[in-house]
Amino acid sequence: MKYAAHAPHAHARASIGRLMLWVMIALTPATLYAFWLYGWPAIFLWAVTVLSAAGAEFFVLRLMQRDAARGLADGTAVLTGWLLALTLPPWAPWWVGVIGSVFAIVVVKQVFGGTGQNLFNPAMAARVMLLISFPVELTTWVGPSPLFGAGALSFVEGARVTFLGQMPLGFDALTSATTLGHVKTELTRGIDVPAALASHGQGLGASLIGLHAGSLGETAAVLLLAGGVLLIALRVIRWHIPVAMLAGVLLPAMLMHAHDPARYLDAGTHLLAGGLILGAFFIASDPATSPGTARGQLLFGFGCGLLVWVIRTWGGYPEAVAFAVLLMNAFTPVIDRYLRPRIYGHPARFARRTRP
Amino acid sequence: MLNRDWLTRLRLRWGVHPLGRKEQGNREGILTLPLPSRLHVPMLQHTGQPAKPRVTVGQRVRKGEMIAARQGNISAPVHAPTSGTVIAIGDYPAPHPSGLPVLTVSIDCDGLEEWVDLDPPSDPFALAPEALAAKVAEAGIVGLGGATFPSAVKMALGLRTQVRTLLVNGSECEPYLSCDDRLMRERAAAIVDGMNLIRHAVGAETILCGIEDNKPEALAAMREAAAPFPHIALRRLPTRYPMGSDRQLIQVLTGREVPSDGRSADVGVLVHNVATCYAVHEALRYGRPLISRIVTVAGGAVRAPRNVEALIGTPARYLVEQCGGLSGESARLVMGGPMMGLELASLDVPVIKGSSGILALDASELPSATPSPCIRCGQCVTACPMNLMPFEMSARIRTGALDEAVGMGLKDCLTCGACSYVCPAHIPLSHYFNYARGELTRRERNTLRQESIRKLVAERSERLERDAREKAEAAARRKAERERAKAEADAARAAKAAAKAAEESSA
């Protein structure tokens, strides 16, 4: 029988697949640039992580007898793998990517009910799980050695790094700490921030274009920022979370740096040296795990930012985006419960209660 | 000074910008349709009680003659759209959400267009406001913006509550529709006269008319027509759906919000549509009842979309044929606009007072995808003109927690469909809300019925108890009587025996 169609008989033509596609397009320039910086191992790791995320999604959906092709087509699983790959050390072994992706998709996403039902950001939860389980692999950073450059690895050498764990000769010389990690280590040795930054030898200019050790997503701040602005302009994401998150880091950073420059990092380093921009525009803004209202998003974003700054400054880990986002994810249901917009024609939410 | 439009845009975050597609039909002027051979005039074309037919089959009616009287307070009479013979009174398909046929008077047109004797007041402004409202009621005028609420009832309400400002709705925010646009361009002076008449009838001081900025020609025409009247102000509104909703229009034009449990009169305003103003002008100046309206015929499957003036009761098929017919397979027929319109099962249904548009949409214009899970993106929250959280509400309704959805504002929902329109997961949000409200009404009715049943049962058992008690008492009484009688008889017997014994002993 034919059912009567319900209004509206028109649609904005938006779809989840299209939203995810735009996020991927926005990530592409930064990703390609990072591939060039870190060479074949980075490309292999990215491919392995993305493919295993897609494979895990497909397998689980088949297991649950759902439409696996349609589930994959919305692009959420690929994007999760992509984002996870961007937060890993570029030369990490292949199994790190596989374990991370499978954990992200199966445990963090599908066990909670699949697309849109997960409480925590899958990529970030997987990264934190990996960091705790495999601290050595997750903290072995290399400096950039651009593709086709003098020190670059060939295709085969790159494959050996990713798949066999065979480091090329002279690899030790390549290992290098991230800026945030270096400063944290030096501070514990009693060396103050300006001296630590000076000894690290990488200025803000280098960070701006990503010429420093770090994950793929910590390199090209400018390209990531451009991608993020594109997403806001296309209304794929709203400005509230990224802006609030940046403010949450930069405001305390500026205040405390002005108060004691020897102890507290400056705002510029906070902005460019770690994964803040990736986190603000691409990770914290994940709709499923963030609040649905404008005010809630501002609070959520600011909370993420503040936590990033607190953990970077006083916590045990040099980088904090993943922890901060996960902690705020846990608050999302509470924020959505209490920060609801005032309904048209109703008195302000608390006005009724305070009235005698 | 800051640009006013810019401020309004910034202040109002709700709404969506559906593809207008108004250029499909708004280029050409209004076409007055030739007389069709037969008209089917439904008795229920308005909110409230259906009208009651006053004609019989075979009776000849003249154009403008009342063929059905209103029933009850909220109702409207129906008039013969042309002269002819009543050939049937019975159920006929009608554009009604229930999809059920409606009692309909079918008229065979004789082509003479012979009017009933019209009796327009010589100077309507000299009449008392109540008399004007009575004439509007007699003319069968209802809100032509789509709500079809009887206009006279609204006007009487306005008079009672001392409305200060009359708001005139020229926003026409539904995509495709351009009937109000064309009406304002071509008959602005008549609309302005109707506005003044309503102002007099409700005792308002000022008139505020809002027109969306995608209709510059209409705005210019209305400005010109309203220029002689200092109490009329025209406002350009940002184009945004649902600007034409009463509550939203009031918010934008006056900055006030209608309380959740109140009416627009509570904030001192009354909203009437431009087409309603035109109908009031026709009724009070010429005595003509509401027997025709402007209808936009559009959609990708219509060959030559345009606006037509059609008699009430004209089959939708006739309108489409007069606009070049269908160019191919129409995927969906809609009466009204695409955002809130009603799907038509066929083109046999007639045009009614509330039919602002007949759309024949092709497959490319329709939402196609099947729903996928909600990703909580919050676009519905941004779109909602009432500041609700549609995705939270629909999640509650899915699990049957309707009371929680009510707590989140389900009853404030306008079912405007803005949330469904933007949802990237293609979730039919407004459908959920309609369903939930229907279900709540059903539950309420159920509760009432159960309560009355419980009451009846309690009364019955009480009655039974009483009966039993009375019966038992009666039985006890009878028994006591019997015993007394027996005792008396015994005593009498004993006395007799004693007397006899005494007699014997004495003998």
- How far apart CA B227 and CA A245 sit, in angstroms, is 52
Looking at every residue in chain B, the average pLDDT score rounds to 91
For B143-255, where are the alpha helices, taking DSSP H only?
151-160, 179-186, 188-202, 216-226, 246-254
What's at A189, amino acid-wise? R
- In sequence order, which residues have a C-beta less than 8 Å from that of residue A125 and are 6 or more positions away? A103, A104, A107, A108, A326
Tokens linked to A104 = 């992200």
Q: What is the pLDDT of residue B3?
A: 47
In contact, A276 and A249? CB cutoff 8 Å: yes
Give the DSSP letter of residue A289.
Answer: G
- How far apart CA A33 and CA A330 sit, in angstroms, is 33
**Chain A contact residues (CB < 8 Å to B):** 4-12, 14-16, 18-19, 70, 74, 76, 114-117, 238, 287-288, 290-294, 297, 336, 340-346
User: Three-class SS string for B122-174?
Assistant: CCHHHCCHHHHHHHHHHCCCECCCCCCCEHHHHHHHHHHCCCCEEEEEECCCC
Q: What value, to the nearest 5°, has the Cα angle with vertex A71 and ends A67 and A73?
A: 120
Nearest to B357 by CA among B435, B417, B297, B441: B297
Q: Which of B96, B377, B394 to mutate to test the interface with A (most CBs of A within 10 A)?
A: B377
Nearest to B125 by CA among B194, B192, B204, B197: B197
**Residue A353 in this model has a pLDDT that exceeds 70:** no
Interface of B with A in 334-363 (CB under 8 A): 334, 338-343, 345, 359, 361
Exposed / middle / buried, residue B253 (Cβ in 10 Å: 0-12, 13-18, 19+): buried
- Chain A residues with beta carbon closer than 8 angstroms to that of B367: 8-11
Q: What is the pLDDT of residue A155?
A: 81
- Chain A residues with beta carbon closer than 8 angstroms to that of B422: 12, 14
Which band of pLDDT confidence, cut at 50, 70 and 90, is reported for residue A173? very low
CA atoms within 13 A on the CB side of B218: 27
Q: What is the mean pLDDT of residues A198-219?
A: 75
Q: What is the pLDDT of residue A185?
A: 83
User: Between chains, do A8 and B420 touch, taking CB under 8 Å as contact?
Assistant: yes
User: Between chains, do A11 and B420 touch, taking CB under 8 Å as contact?
Assistant: yes
Q: What value, to the nearest 5°, has the Cα angle with vertex B253 and ends B252 and B258?
A: 70
Q: What is the pLDDT of residue B2?
A: 40
Q: What is the mean pLDDT of residues B30-51?
A: 93
B494: how many CB neighbours lie within 10 A of its CB? Answer: 10
Q: What is the pLDDT of residue A349?
A: 63
User: Between chains, do A76 and B420 touch, taking CB under 8 Å as contact?
Assistant: no
Q: What is the pLDDT of residue B249?
A: 94
Q: What is the mean pLDDT of residues A332-351?
A: 83
* Interface ipTM: 0.86
Nearest to A289 by CA among B394, B375, B393, B373: B375
Q: What is the pLDDT of residue A151?
A: 67
Q: Which of B264, B372, B426 to mutate to test the interface with A (most CBs of A within 10 A)?
A: B372
Q: What is the mean pLDDT of residues B286-306?
A: 94
User: Between chains, do B389 and A293 touch, taking CB under 8 Å as contact?
Assistant: yes
Of A353 and A6, the structure prediction assigns the larger pLDDT to A6
Strand B232-237 vs strand B269-273: parallel, antiparallel, or unpaired? unpaired
Q: Could you give the percent of chain B with pLDDT greater than 70?
A: 97
Looking at every residue in chain A, the average pLDDT score rounds to 87
Span B351-387, pLDDT tens digits: 999 999 999 999 888 887 788 889 998 899 999 999 9
Q: What is the pLDDT of residue A82?
A: 96
- How far apart CA A324 and CA A283 sit, in angstroms, is 11
Span B456-473, pLDDT tens digits: 999 999 999 999 999 999
Span B170-196, pLDDT tens digits: 999 999 999 999 999 999 999 999 999
Q: Could you give the percent of chain A with pLDDT greater than 70?
A: 92
User: Three-class SS string for B477-500?
Assistant: HHHHHHHHHHHHHHHHHHHHHHHH
Which band of pLDDT confidence, cut at 50, 70 and 90, is reported for residue A170? low
- Chain B residues with beta carbon closer than 8 angstroms to that of A291: 378
Strand B292-298 vs strand B357-361: parallel, antiparallel, or unpaired? parallel
Tracing tokens 């009466």 back to the chain, one arrives at B335
Span B200-211, pLDDT tens digits: 999 999 999 999
- Chain B residues with beta carbon closer than 8 angstroms to that of A351: none
Residue of B nearest to A9 (CA): B338
> What are the respective helix, strand and coil percentages of chain A, to the nearest 5?
65, 0, 35
- How far apart CA B367 and CA A9 sit, in angstroms, is 7
- Chain B residues with beta carbon closer than 8 angstroms to that of A114: 373
Buried b (16+ CB within 10 A) or exposed e, B303-337: eebbbbebbbbbbbbbbbbbbeebeeebbbbbbbb
Q: Give the distance, in angstroms, between the CA of residue A31 and the centroid of all CA atoms in the same chain.
A: 13
In contact, B380 and B419? CB cutoff 8 Å: yes
Exposed / middle / buried, residue B186 (Cβ in 10 Å: 0-12, 13-18, 19+): middle
> Which of A141-155, B44-58, B145-159, B184-198 bottoms out in mean pLDDT, i.e. has the lowest?
A141-155
Q: What is the pLDDT of residue B368?
A: 76
Q: Which of A18, A344, A349 to mutate to test the interface with B (most CBs of B within 10 A)?
A: A344
Q: What is the pLDDT of residue B63?
A: 95
Nearest to A104 by CA among A88, A125, A86: A125
Span A304-321, pLDDT tens digits: 999 999 999 998 888 889
- How far apart CA B91 and CA B44 sit, in angstroms, is 11
Tokens linked to B373 = 């899970």
Nearest to A19 by CA among A285, A295, A299, A330: A285
CA atoms within 13 A on the CB side of A224: 28
Q: What is the pLDDT of residue A169?
A: 62
Instruction: Name the phi and psi angles at B60, rounded to 5.
Output: -90, 135
**Residue A356 in this model has a pLDDT that exceeds 70:** no
- How far apart CA B418 and CA B1 sit, in angstroms, is 33
Residue of A nearest to B17 (CA): A12
Exposed / middle / buried, residue B29 (Cβ in 10 Å: 0-12, 13-18, 19+): exposed
Span B410-435, pLDDT tens digits: 999 999 999 999 999 999 999 999 99
CA dist list (Å): A249 to A279, A305, B249: 12, 5, 41
User: Between chains, do A238 and B343 touch, taking CB under 8 Å as contact?
Assistant: no
User: Between chains, do A292 and B409 touch, taking CB under 8 Å as contact?
Assistant: no
Q: Is B377 on the interface with A (CB under 8 A)?
A: yes
- In sequence order, which residues have a C-beta less than 8 Å from that of residue A160 and are 6 or more positions away? A166, A168
Span A251-308, pLDDT tens digits: 999 999 999 988 898 888 888 888 899 999 999 999 999 999 999 999 999 999 999 9
**Residue B437 in this model has a pLDDT that exceeds 70:** yes
Tokens linked to A133 = 């389980």
Q: Which of A3, A11, A23, A239 to mutate to test the interface with B (most CBs of B within 10 A)?
A: A11
In contact, A88 and A138? CB cutoff 8 Å: yes
In contact, B288 and B282? CB cutoff 8 Å: yes
What's at B108, amino acid-wise? D
Tokens linked to B284 = 């009070």
Tokens linked to B150 = 């009887």
Q: What is the pLDDT of residue B149?
A: 92
